[in-house]
Amino acid sequence: MIVVKVGGSEGIDLEAFCRDLANCIKSGVDIVLVHGGSHDTNVLSAKLGKPPRFVTSLSGVESRYTDRETLAIFTMVYVGKVNKYIVEQLQKQGVNAVGLSGIDGRLLEGSRKEFIKVVEDGKRKVLRDDYTGKVEKVNVHLVKLLRDNGYTPVITPPAISYESEAINVDGDRAAAVLAAALGAEKLIILSNVPGLLRDVNDASSLVTEIRRDQIERYADFAKGRMKKKVMGAAEALAEGVREVVFADARGENAVSRALEGKGTVIR
Ligand code: ADP
């Protein structure tokens, strides 16, 4: 079984992606899909007069500040718009997809951060009222129920906290925890870049292969949001997933190309 994560950044044609994904599933590849929705969330937030606010943790990791209002917009886009669009497209291609957020059936559960320490405009701040956290537990039984009965799960943040609050979690790391919990042999992370690049401005600087014990060395190339993908890859490999692939979600045959190993293969 393979966990595929498709990002929500600009430039990804989800219709083409779903067409290829459906072909792979119909040819017998057993897939659980996880997706994002960051770009659409930024667009809707701005339209609703609440522009997105990104904060940087003291260790330099960027995340979306998610107060209660942002959480509602986040859920509208990830669950309401993107999840249902993907399910619609897969259904159109003859795949019996079921869309679930991490809240449903406590599919993705974890701890909510009580507060976050960030640096903003050069100043250190403590932010409360932030609904973010980290996935630690997966309802494997629920996923199994669906898969055993011929349904393809399409999974998206938010997750649920132990106190039953919806929480914004990083999709790449959620996919990594999910892949490990389900005993997936492979995790494929698709985004709007060809894979891990030595230089983010040079598409020809693709790193094609990384030995799992050398992942730390390559982590320095990853800037911004790519950092979480590398962290997720390391977590998945440490928990028993044999291979992680970073590949391009853009254009035709994105899933097939990644299955052939085009991109950055870590094993
Ligand atoms: P998604 O929303 O598809 O999950 P993100 O936007 O979170 O994807 O992360 C992918 C982005 O990471 C790329 O668009 C790129 O700008 C950035 N990035 C930073 N460093 C690297 C790198 N070394 N290689 C590839 N992408 C990188």
Measured distance CA(189)–CA(196) in Å, rounded: 11
The pLDDT of residue 235 is 95
Q: Is the pLDDT of residue 224 over 90?
A: no
Whether 197 lines ligand 1, by a CB cut-off of 6 Å, is yes
The pLDDT of residue 225 is 83
Strand partners, 119: 56, 124
The pLDDT of residue 213 is 93
- Which of 26-30, 58-62, 69-73, 172-176 has the least mean pLDDT? 58-62
The per-residue pLDDT for range 17-30, each reduced to its tens digit, is 999 999 999 999 99
Regarding the domain delimited by 2-266, which CATH topology (the fold level of the hierarchy) does it fall under? Answer: Carbamate kinase (3.40.1160)
Whether 9 lines ligand 1, by a CB cut-off of 6 Å, is yes
The per-residue pLDDT for range 116-126, each reduced to its tens digit, is 999 988 899 99
* Cα-Cα end-to-end distance for the chain: 16
Q: Structure pTM?
A: 0.96
Do residues 109 and 136 lie in contact, with contact meaning Cβ atoms separated by under 8 Å?
yes
The three-state secondary structure class of 5 is: strand
The per-residue pLDDT for range 155-197, each reduced to its tens digit, is 999 999 999 999 999 999 999 999 999 999 999 999 999 999 9
The per-residue pLDDT for range 75-128, each reduced to its tens digit, is 999 999 999 999 999 999 999 999 999 999 999 999 999 999 999 888 999 999
Going by pLDDT thresholds of 50, 70 and 90, the confidence category of residue 35 is very high
Q: Is the pLDDT of residue 246 over 90?
A: yes
Q: Where are the beta strands (DSSP E) in the chain?
A: 2-6, 31-35, 54-57, 62-64, 97-101, 108-112, 116-120, 123-127, 133-138, 152-156, 159-161, 166-167, 186-191, 209-210, 243-248, 264-266
Mean pLDDT of 36-65: 94
Question: What is the whole-number distance in angstroms between the Cα of residue 225 and the centre of ligand 1?
Answer: 5
Structure tokens at 240: 């028993």
How much of the chain, in percent, has pLDDT values that exceed 70? 100
The pLDDT of residue 121 is 86
Q: Is the pLDDT of residue 254 over 90?
A: yes
In Å, how far are 41, 90, 102, 146, 219 from 140, measured between CA atoms?
A: 28, 22, 12, 10, 30
Residue 129: other Cβ atoms inside 10 A: 9
By most ligand atoms within 8 Å of CB, the mutation choice from 63, 193, 221 for ligand 1 is 193
Q: Is the pLDDT of residue 62 over 90?
A: no
Whether 221 lines ligand 1, by a CB cut-off of 6 Å, is yes
Measured distance CA(151)–CA(215) in Å, rounded: 34
Do residues 250 and 192 lie in contact, with contact meaning Cβ atoms separated by under 8 Å?
yes
- The alpha carbons of the chain give a radius of gyration, in whole angstroms, of 17
- On the question of a cis peptide bond just before residue 194, with omega within 30 degrees of 0, the verdict is no
Residue identifier of the C-alpha nearest atom 4 of ligand 1 = 7
In Å, how far are 43, 92, 97, 107, 177 from 88, measured between CA atoms?
A: 22, 6, 8, 21, 26
**Domains of the chain by residue range:** 2-266
